[in-house]
Amino acid sequence: MSLSDVTRGGGPARVIKVDALARVEGEGALYVRVRNNEIRDLKFRIYEPPRFFEGLLRGRMYSDAPDITARICGICPVAYIMGASHAMEAALGVDVPRDIHEMRRLIYCGEWIQSHVLHAAMLHAPDFLGLQDALQIAAANPDLVKAALRLKKLGNDLMATIGGRAVHPVNTKVGGFYKAPSIEALRVLLPEVEWGLGAAETLLDAFSGFDFPDYDYDYTCVSLGNTTAYPIMEGDIVVSGGEAIPLDGFMDRYEEFQVAHSTSLHARPKDGSGPYLVGPIARYNNNFDRLSTRARDAARRAGLGPIVTNPFKSLLVRMVETIHALEEVRRIIEGYRGLAAPSAPVAVRAGTGCGCTEAPRGICFHRYELGEDGRIAKALIMPPTSQNQPQIERDLRGVVEKNLDMADEDLKWLCEQTIRNYDPCISCSCHFLELTIERE
């Protein structure tokens, strides 16, 4: 970090640069210019080089899409596998049996568990404790960190048992799986699932004692819903207030657009109604009554009502969802009797299909057009972080406006914490944020 006083436009300005931010995936920067105690410019800039996955998919067979899109993220590959698979099945008219759907939900729960716990305990909790990383938490409370690592491992073990490996699973395909998961291999995990439920509640109780920054926003929440189950892989798109949009109507209502300060596309409603929120809080607010009784009770103990408006409490919502996911894991494993067939039959034809699932960070939307030979003619993928970027900038503006009396170092920390609320998946490699604040 460097701090200097410079002259801009005849007046003094304070410039703060943070050259490295850990605990966020990828390369990004935040620029804030304040003049006369008013924000004159604010940009959350992503400068990660684009990877052109949609272009890479063109000309490939429909069956390649799940494996290729899984490489977009090493933390949530199942989200891309399932979104691509659902879209291809819609385009090809594939009817996936219930037992395959349940096994897909099980591997997805494993991804939620490992991703939520990684973010909440390792990447975000240090912000609330004034610490630099989870190693400092481990020095003060090693049992908490050990429990979090063990719980994350349980999520990874579920993904490996069903998918062949925890990162970029190899046992999934359009129509289902290459091989039915073993009943015995899954049931041996049940004692760990029981332990995990208690551990997740303990972590939630610990995190609920954090001092959360005073900031609230009336979010427009967009998630899956309109179904009897808490949404992971099923449902329509629902918006705050209960409006339901079929998947094939999503792009009629929302659009991507490019901004000069980011290599990542943003998303917005076509009616100009402003930014919208996807992710844990959006799912929770739209579907609270579909959480399990145990998860709802845990939420209430943590001080959460059925609607959450403080973005910093997304940490708590993630742990509530972890409890729900663990209960789903137990239910599915206890009822599993093997698959009648590992996959549904697929017949190649021309078609267009949409798929949308709830990645840990929010809805991940896919749309593909196929030719008669089954090759991909056009691909569109809208990941959750792209959809959340305008809302991230709106939250940053609100947080800065509310805390302009803070010292620059404290405000810098709060801005970083605000970004980490979203667990933004900028990339799966480097972890850098450059922050510049100019006060004129």
- Please tell me whether 76 is known to bind a ligand: yes
- Please tell me whether 430 is known to bind a ligand: no
- Please tell me whether 425 is known to bind a ligand: yes
- Please tell me whether 415 is known to bind a ligand: no
3-state SS, one letter per residue, for the chain = CEEEEEEECCEEEEEEEECCCCCCEEEEEEEEEEECCEEEEEEEEECCCCCCHHHHHCCCEHHHHHHHHHCCCCCCHHHHHHHHHHHHHHHHCCCCCHHHHHHHHHHHHHHHHHHHHHHHHHHHHHHHHCCCCHHHHHHHCHHHHHHHHHHHHHHHHHHHHHHCCCCCCCCEECCEECCCCCHHHHHCCHHHHHHHHHHHHHHHHHHCCCCCCCCCCCCCEEEEECCCCCCCCCCEEEECCCEEECHHHHHHHEEEECCCCCCCCEEEECCCCCCCECCHHHHHHHHHHHCCHHHHHHHHHCCCCCCCCCHHHHHHHHHHHHHHHHHHHHHHHHHCCCCCCCECCCCCCCEEEEEEEEECCEEEEEEEEECCCCEEEEEEEECHHHHHHHHHHHHHHHHHHHCCCCCHHHHHHHHHHHHHCCCCECCCCCEEEEEEEEEC
Residue 316: how many other CB atoms lie within 10 Å: 26
Distance CA 84, CA 178 (A): 16
Nearest CA-CA partner of 177 in 395, 2, 415, 336: 336
Distance CA 13, CA 32 (A): 12
Q: Which tokens go with 383?
A: 């990941």
Beta bridge mates, 438: 15, 33
Nearest CA-CA partner of 119 in 279, 243, 264: 279
Tokens 């067939």 locate to 341
- Please tell me whether 364 is known to bind a ligand: no
Detail the residues annotated as belonging to a binding site for Fe cation.
Answer: 76, 428
Detail the residues annotated as belonging to a binding site for Mg(2+).
Answer: 54, 381, 431
Detail the residues annotated as belonging to a binding site for Ni(2+).
Answer: 73, 76, 425
Detail the residues annotated as belonging to a binding site.
Answer: 54, 73, 76, 381, 425, 428, 431
